[in-house]
Amino acid sequence: MQNAHLRLGLLEYHRITEKTSARIRVRVSSYIGEDEQAHLISVFGSDSDIGAITAAVHEKAYFTLTFPDGLIKEVTLGEHASCYRSSVILPGRKHPVRHLVASLSSCTRMAARTGQSFLVTVQRSLGVVVNLSWPSRCARVGKAHLRDS
Amino acid sequence: MPDLAPNACEPYRVPPTSETALSYHGLPYDLLEDLLPHSGAWKQVMPFLAPHEEVATGRPITPLHGGHVGLLCTAGLLNGVFGQGDDRHIARWRSVKHVTTFVEHDEENEIVHHRERWANELRLVYADGRTLKLTETPIRQEEDTDAECAPAARAA
């Protein structure tokens, strides 16, 4: 598909210490959350950026999430977050792009405990997508599909 | 300071240059958007986020009676998206454990009883935002007295 930049979000992490100040910005391909509680974030970027975001997730840090429509929200994964990383090799590029999917440890099991339901449609060939046409607590940046059955 | 007259100096004409091409050296988002769903990270998350469910497909050997359809529904084999237009909805069955607690007073002692039973419920989410929860237990009574939980195997 074309014009992917119009469907991608932006995740920003600002860390200030006594001597240094770092600002890391990565692109967001998928997001599921409720208010300030993020349930799943899929981001990609350079190796150092993804490493920093991974460390921030484990530190329960807050991130500034910018949606494609310009909406800005402070989100965090909180405790019990799991990070899954991989590399995406691009033709003609020396270094692969790093991909990170951070989610609450088995948010499906959490949904069962709290009685919450997440409307997530899955297309096996394209990965996980959340349909925007269904009113839900889920938010999604990127492609949207609905599986018929 | 006097104003500058229009013809005070000769205008500078920008010299023509050869054609140039603009190049983008950032990440190719279009290509990445197509490649990311196949990444190893998604493959690791998929079993947790969307566990594989058994769905009944194919043509049955004999026509199904109403009881057969009911059994398939309560077993969770007919979950999915159904209907058209405003009636388009997501249907999901699940088994819910109801725990009823009552206290029995025996002279000086107080005995707390927990009675457990399993029931089936159907949750519907319509395209226009309506939601329905169909269960055998009246909602008000259930909220007052019962606590519910679902087994991990039925987690959505």
Choose between A90 and A114: higher pLDDT.
A90
Instruction: Choose the closest CB to A119 out of B46, B82, B90.
Output: B90
- pTM for the full predicted model: 0.60
pLDDT 10s digits, A52-107: 999 999 999 999 999 988 889 999 998 888 899 999 999 888 899 999 999 886 55
Residue B148: give the domain boundaries. Answer: 39-154
Please give the pLDDT value at position A101: 93
Assigned domain for A120 exists: no
Q: Is the pLDDT of residue A49 over 90?
A: yes
Number of domains comprising chain B: 1
- Using CA atoms, how far apart are residues A9 and A141, in angstroms rounded to an integer? 6
Residues in chain A: 149
Assigned domain for A23 exists: yes
For residues B46-80, b (16+ Cβ closer than 10 Å) or e, as one string? bebbbeeeeeeeeeeeeeeeeeeeeeeebebebbe
Q: Which two tokens stand for residue B22?
A: 């603009």
- Measure in Å the smallest separation between the Cα of A38 and chain B Cα atoms: 14
For chain B, the residues whose C-beta falls within 8 A of a C-beta of chain A are 27-46, 48-51, 55, 80-82, 90, 92, 123, 125, 127-129, 148-152, 154-156
| Closest chain A residue by Cα to residue B80 | A149
| Closest chain A residue by Cα to residue B44 | A84
Number of domains comprising chain A: 1
Could you give the C-alpha distances from B100 to A111, B35, B134, B140, B147, in angstroms and in order?
22, 51, 19, 14, 8
Choose between A26 and B142: higher pLDDT.
A26
Contact flag B29-A4 (C-beta cutoff 8 Å)? yes
Residue A81: give the domain boundaries. Answer: 4-106
Assigned domain for A146 exists: no
Contact flag A100-B41 (C-beta cutoff 8 Å)? yes
Please give the pLDDT value at position B121: 85
Instruction: Choose the closest CB to A108 out of B37, B48, B149.
Output: B48
Assigned domain for B149 exists: yes
Cβ–Cβ contact A145 with B under 8 A: no
Assigned domain for A124 exists: no
Assigned domain for B45 exists: yes
> Chain A window 83-102: which residues touch B at a Cβ cutoff of 8 Å?
84-88, 90, 97, 99-101
Please give the pLDDT value at position B119: 85
Assigned domain for B24 exists: no
pLDDT 10s digits, B59-108: 888 888 888 888 888 887 778 888 888 888 888 888 888 888 989 888 88
ipTM for the complex? 0.73
Q: Is the pLDDT of residue A31 over 70?
A: yes
Q: Using a CB-CB distance cutoff of 8 angstroms, which residues of chain B are in contact with residue A101?
A: 41-42, 44-45
Assigned domain for A137 exists: no
Contact flag A86-B40 (C-beta cutoff 8 Å)? yes
Cβ neighbours of residue B113 closer than 8 Å, sequence gap 6 or more: B101, B102, B103, B104
